[in-house]
């Protein structure tokens, strides 16, 4: 059974979902690739959701740089490999898609890495916002580019104060 709840955050209302194996989804208010919800999804809390809410609150308050949660994202083997590599990008730092492809040992798979990054079901926790264009530009993000800019400014990876409406 998957439990889910909604929380308010500086980047809008987020949906959090977790099963017995761990956190399986974080969704922004308008998500490009929403997680498929089955009959086993029910509103409510569980210990993983409560820990996720607390850790996200700490992250947005500038008190947490790394998440310590059991994760259970659904995806292909390649997607999970890319998502695991996202977890290795340090707080406040960025990588290009090409650098991420090289990091997983597949330097010619830049487009596939970009597609897997875009399907990340656990944004923020698996920090796909830290992946940028080779020229330093902010490229696609499921939560929208203003949200990506906000998260990177929050972490100090971009100059300026975090402002979701900038």
Residues annotated catalytic, as ranges = 128
Distances in Å between the Cα of 64 and the Cα atoms of 20, 91, 92 are 24, 9, 12
Residues with Cβ within 8 Å of 73's Cβ and at least 6 positions away in sequence, in order, are 23, 24, 25, 79, 80, 83, 120, 121, 122, 126
Tell me the C-alpha distance between 138 and 40, whole Å: 36
Distance, in Å, from the CA atom of 82 to the CA atom of 158, rounded to the nearest integer, reads: 23
Is residue 74 within 8 A of residue 34, CB to CB? The reply is no
Q: Is 58 helix (H, G, I), strand (E, B) or coil?
A: helix
Distance (Å, whole) CA 101 – CA 58: 30
């Amino acid at each position: 059974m998957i439990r889910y709840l909604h929380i308010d955050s500086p980047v809008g209302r987020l949906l959090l979902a977790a099963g017995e194996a761990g956190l399986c989804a974080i969704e922004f208010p308008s998500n490009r690739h929403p997680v498929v919800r089955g009959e086993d999804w029910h509103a409510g809390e569980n210990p993983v959701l409560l820990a996720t809410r607390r850790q996200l609150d700490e992250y947005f308050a500038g008190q947490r740089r790394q998440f310590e949660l059991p994760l259970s994202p659904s995806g292909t083997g390649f997607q999970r490999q890319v998502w695991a590599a996202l977890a290795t990008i340090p707080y406040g730092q960025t990588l290009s898609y090409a650098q991420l492809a090289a990091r997983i040992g597949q330097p010619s798979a830049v487009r596939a890495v970009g597609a897997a990054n875009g399907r990340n079901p656990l944004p923020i926790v698996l920090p796909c916002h830290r992946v940028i264009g080779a020229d330093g530009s902010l490229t696609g993000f499921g939560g929208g580019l203003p949200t990506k800019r906000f998260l990177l400014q929050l972490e100090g990876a971009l100059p300026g104060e975090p402002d979701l409406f900038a």
